[in-house]
A and B are shown apart, each in its own frame.
Chain A
């Protein structure tokens, strides 16, 4: 029970990080982006490549920060992967979504996003193969936090949770302390009024892709660090991310954070009573449960 809860909280933090950009994109560009979760895969694999490069170039970086298996090179690689994934998100928008936005309806965007997801996933498979990979073959021993009830926690899991919370806090400070943050929240609430108030919408859309891509890359690395990498990494997060976004209220950053944890926890807890094959259904149950009580999501408001 406690073990499933702890694992669920960890997954929840990854889902929350991933859902932040998705909720903004869905609200500002008004389309359900089924390719968004692939950014987690792009980030996770980009970090793998940067990590291998950095540790080859500077072997000193390859030492792990004990008790973590995290190495200096992977930490640096994660930062580089965040930048690269943000840039990829912007590039995909320029190449695909922005062109469709200019002439077609939102439904075309949804179909295009399915296509983008397929392309990204297959490119990753082509480059890295189907099999699962790890950043490090080092073994990190789990700490026995408690024996009855049994609770095992790996240092890496604690690190991931802390790092995810730090990233969310950093975003919170940007959103509430800077005029750039005000502009971002203004665009999320009412894009037309934001333009009337002097905000350049196109620049904000680019900023949202950059931020969303960077946070998704971190989410992907954090997931891979505590589990493993595979080309299906992004795909497996499509439903949890949508569930967190919808449950939290589309357009609300805080809703995405608040929605990610229950989705992760419900998936974790469901393992106790249901075969693991049913875990993917949990996000749907969360969406249903939240929308029954709050039709616009936890933090959503009724708006046109």
Chain B
């Protein structure tokens, strides 16, 4: 089985897995980073969203062999102390219900805020439309993104 060397959350890690193994399962099963969730496996729910060189990707649909030396950031590495503006805002607004989708939501939101520090509702619709929340905490997600923008810009 091939060995892959990955940079995840700023640390170098090695895994021996088949080349078609999705990054999602490498993170969850082999690197013990279970914050990234499985919801559909076909890039339709966003639960598995991580950053690859800063861009949000659906890790269920990217094989480990396609990562190369690009840098992976997962929810565990979003901030050192759990105090990324998105995390602060999510807590302030009390967003989660079951919480299962929220890692993916926050990773998508963090990537959006990097590109658009003051996202409009239309920006949020466009950037967050790929993230399902089965509990439908959407109103709070939207509010928390606006709050996070304020925190980030202050």
Q: Do A and B bind each other?
A: no
Residues on B close to A: CB < 8 A? none
Residues on A close to B: CB < 8 A? none
